[in-house]
Amino acid sequence: MNLRRNSIKLMVAATFAATAVSSFASPNISRLTPPSNPISATANTLARFLPNQKFDLQTTIQPSTGTTISSVVFAVDGITVATITNDGSAANQFLGTTGLVKTGLVAGLATGTVIASARAYSNGVVGVHTLTATATDNLGGVTTTNGNFEVMPILANSGRPAKNIIIMLGDGMSVAHRSAARIVAKGYAQGKAQGRLAMDTFPQTAMVMTASLNSIVTDSAPGMSNYVNGNKAQNNQEGVFPDDTTDAFDNPRIEYLSEYLHRLKGTSTGIVTTADVFDATPAANAVHTSNRGAGTGIVDQFLDDRNLTGLTVLMGGGRKWFLPNASNTTSPQNSNGSQRKTSTDYVLSNDITTAWSASAGALDSNRDLISDFQTAGFTYAPDKTTLVNAGTPSKLLGLFSFSNMNVAFDKINGRRSASSVVSDFGFPDQPMLDEMTDSAINVLKQNPNGFVLMVEAASIDKQAHLMDSDRWMLDVVEFDRAIQKAKDFATANPDTLVIITADHECGGAALIGASKGTLTGSLASANNVAIYDAAKFPTYNISADGYPNNTDVAGKLLIGYGSNADRIESWLSNPLPSQDSQQPFVGAAPLNAYPATAAARPVGFLIPGQVGADAGGQATHTASDVQLSAMGRGATLFGGVIDNTDVFFKFGQAAIGGAR
């Protein structure tokens, strides 16, 4: 085992006589961070970093009964990197880049437990390093625990470096979702696709394993952050390792790709999503927290730490987090609809702010964050018209809805005046993802040092959760149109690397066949599914706007779900989307009349779920691998079956060492 613990009992005779029971025991080091590989010395090292990438060292030490921890020493390869001495008080201590936390700990730890940190450590020497924590108690008991981490190589002068990196992230999108979009948007005849999606044209393909630190089935927080900091995060956590405190913003940090390249190369960062911008995927590119739901602090940190990330573009939904809320309550909501509360905000301790040059934060529900963004030089676009009229500002903030944006199905039907859904939500003028991507690239490309842009098609996942097949299929089509924008830019600017991937699969989606003849709606059943030969080739007519003019064609593509909750299925498009609990008006007319879950749809037959009440009426993520496509500078680095953390090191190679 790599994790090795040695207990050294140093006993002074007088002490032994006085405290015979406790002096035999030594402190228990119950956590050493970064986490080490507990399986075998020959397996891949668990924690890996690029040369000089910053990360925090941390250890949780539980004293034996009747003792207190006197000091903690961190050493790497036998050389001390930090010594932290307990001042004996009950208060937390912060000195320079080190901290000793004694309060605000999770339940179940021994009395007197301390958490020692040495923040923003980095190491430029390639190879496996031994990390040692040594804890000494007031009776001379000493415990030493060893772990390890690895600094991965970047091969210098391997070709021209990638100036720009674009990550196209289809949330929940796996092979089935991609195939479905191709069938819908391009059509098949005589066994051959009649066209290719933009994502089909990328020359390199890899399959990606998506597990998180604590589960084969990840959520979007590790699913994204694992790509962009090279380390496994625990579910619900982003940009951090787990710890033993209750504070959501004090976990051991890992430097993101956005921060690393901004520090080394002066790149800009762009984050574009169709979700609420506080959502896990966008936040897991720039925000460090163990609680993906801490919306107030997450959106604050986007702006507060822009000097660390080079944040230049932030677009999506989520306006509700940016509005001042003097009352600090959301029940009922403030008259402006703000969701800001101090309970989801952040304040950082001095060791973090000192070591990382991070903003301290503040518990300020009444902050006018839109105005603060504008003061920092961002042009604010609340809708598509303003976005278009903004041209190419130096920095861009787009908040196009209160929470998650409406999906392509409803946005495009709104533009066609065929549906009132976007107006029901109060946001009739939302941009499509390709329009947002185009604007983002135009802003970011102004930086001669390059940029890192993450574009998320969030509702492929959200609609797959809801088992609303036509809605997620159109979101893949929308995503592909955004990918075309990225591809066009990379073609014109060959020093750009573009990857398309997913954080995980969602729904266990499967293309099971096509509908038989005329659709039946309320008379729908499993017998409506045409399988094998009878499925033929579903054919959709594509309008000039790029989307099917009707998703209820005869012989339409039908989807089954392997991780389904109960759902009422009509095989027809659902005129109304399922309710989104994060919308401020969800409880009010007309949104309250929308179906709450797939099981509450008014028309169709019941398909019993395979996941139970734990899933809250939604299909779940699955542990299936996802498909990654790459083009541009460094694309040849991608291939085979890789771990999601591997992607980060390929980014580092492409951006720093170069690639051919």
Partner 1 sequence: MLTLCLGVSSLTSTLVNGEVAKQALNQHNEVPKSIQLDGQPLTSIVGVTDLKFSELFKMPVGPKGFELTSKAQSLAGKKVRLVGYMIKAEPPIPGMFVLSPVQEEMGDEDEKMVDDFPPNVIFVHLSDPKMTVPNIEGLIKLTGTLQIGSFNESDEHVSTFRLILDQAIEKDIKQALMSIQAGI
User: Which residues would be at the binding site for partner 1 (CB under 8 A)?
Assistant: 319-320, 323, 326-327, 329, 331-338, 370, 380, 382-383, 386, 402, 423, 426-429, 584-589, 592
Peptide bond just before 590 cis, omega within 30 deg: yes
CB nearer to partner 1: pick between 153 and 428:
428
Nearer Cβ to partner 1, position 208 or 436?
Answer: 436
> Residue 232 or residue 320: which is nearer to partner 1 going by CB?
320
Output 40 or 335, the one with its CB closest to partner 1.
Answer: 335
> Residue 281 or residue 401: which is nearer to partner 1 going by CB?
401
| Shortest Cβ 399–partner 1 spacing (Å) | 8
Type of residue numbered 314: L
Residues 175 and 628 sit within 8 Å (Cβ to Cβ): no
C-alpha closest to that of 276 among 368, 402, 380: 402
Distance (Å, rounded) from C-alpha 550 to C-alpha 528?
Answer: 19
Least separation in angstroms between CB 331 and partner 1: 5
d(C-alpha 601, C-alpha 574), whole Å:
8
Closer residue to partner 1 in complex, CB, 537/585? 585
Smaller CB distance to partner 1: residue 388 or 606? 388
In 391-458, alpha helices (H): 408-415, 421-424, 433-444
Q: State the nearest-atom distance from the C-beta of 504 to partner 1, in Å.
A: 28
Residue 322 C-beta: closest distance to partner 1, Å: 8
Nearest to 306 by CA among 359, 236, 348: 359
Q: Least distance to partner 1 from the beta carbon of 340, Å?
A: 11
- Comparing CB distances to partner 1, the nearer of 75 and 399 is 399
Q: How far apart are alpha carbons 312 and 447 in whole angstroms?
A: 10
The label of the residue with tokens 């710890």 reads 243
Beta-sheet pairing, 640-643 with 204-209: parallel
Shortest distance in whole angstroms from residue 592 CB to partner 1 = 5
Q: What's the closest the beta carbon of residue 402 comes to partner 1, in angstroms?
A: 6
At CB < 8 A and 24+ separation, what contacts does 584-591 make?
A: 584/320, 584/333, 584/337, 584/339, 584/402, 584/403, 585/402, 585/425, 585/426, 590/424, 591/424, 591/425
Least distance in angstroms from the C-beta of 339 to partner 1: 10
DSSP H stretches of helix in 466-535: 469-492
CA distance 355 to 539: 58
Helices (H), 187-242: 220-229
Shortest gap between Cβ of 447 and partner 1 (angstroms)? Answer: 27
In the complex with partner 1, the residue whose CB is nearer, 15 or 423, is: 423
Q: Which residues contact 396 (CB under 8 A, 6 or more apart)?
A: 312, 313, 314, 315, 378, 379, 381, 390, 439, 440, 443
Of 585 and 605, nearer to partner 1 (C-beta) is 585
Find the DSSP H helices in 266-367. 280-283, 295-304, 306-309, 350-356
By C-beta, is 266 or 426 nearer to partner 1?
426
Query: Least distance to partner 1 from the beta carbon of 430, Å?
Result: 10
| CB proximity list for 630: less than 8 A, separation 6 or greater | 202, 203, 204, 205, 206, 497, 498, 499, 500, 637, 638
Give min distance, CB of 247 to partner 1, in A.
21
